[in-house]
Amino acid sequence: MILKICGITNPEDCAAAIAGGATAIGFNFYPRSPRYIAPESAAEIASAPGVRRVGVFVNEDRARIEEIARIAALDVAQLHGDEAPANYPASLAVWKAARVSPGFDFARYDHCPAEALLLDGPASGQTFDWSGTGILACVGLRIILAGGLDASNVAQAIAIVHPWGVDACSRIESAPGKKDHKKMTEFLRAARAALRS
């Protein structure tokens, strides 16, 4: 199970996430994001053995993704743009992200070669209708659930979707790019408890 904290911008938040049980940390390399971090800065943030380092990209060139992956020691590229499978980086795992809104067509990801499909809300910090995701069994991909998750709703999301992982960011922050350690720890604790039940 993936327990991911995204939007890491500093060593203190990373250390707190790992201490709370995170199994993946996300660095946002999209320059227009308020959580943007330079690859060289991400490289200086230490993680821990077994914790996956995930880079968030939006319509980035494959060669540039692979370059950033080398600099920042990434394990996974999380792709949020219109990237076609032919443009996926070859040097690391891919999590293809998709924003779910009414009428979302899960079938278009039936043959997606990504390691996982990350389902995000229609906008930053927003959830979507998890009960409408029963069709996910047809996708044949591991599902990572994102979008508006925090300690108050992650157990319900896990119970409905049974995802491979969960991902939290904006709802566990005190400001964009700065985690609220209490909220983050509570989210991770609630997610772990839900997975054990």
What letter represents residue 61's amino acid? D
Contact 6, 56 (CB under 8 A): yes
List Cβ neighbours of 39 (8 Å cut-off, separation of 6 or more). Answer: 29, 67, 68, 71, 72
Q: Which amino acid is at 66?
A: E
Distance CA 104, CA 107 (A): 9
Q: How many Å is the maximal CA-CA distance in the chain? A: 42
SS3 state at 197:
coil
Residue 59 carries which side chain, given as an amino acid letter? N
Active site residues: 6, 120
41 CB neighbour count, 10 Å cutoff: 15
The 3-state secondary structure of 117-160, one letter per residue: EEEECCCCCCCCCHHHHHHHHHCCCEEEECCCCCCCCHHHHHHH
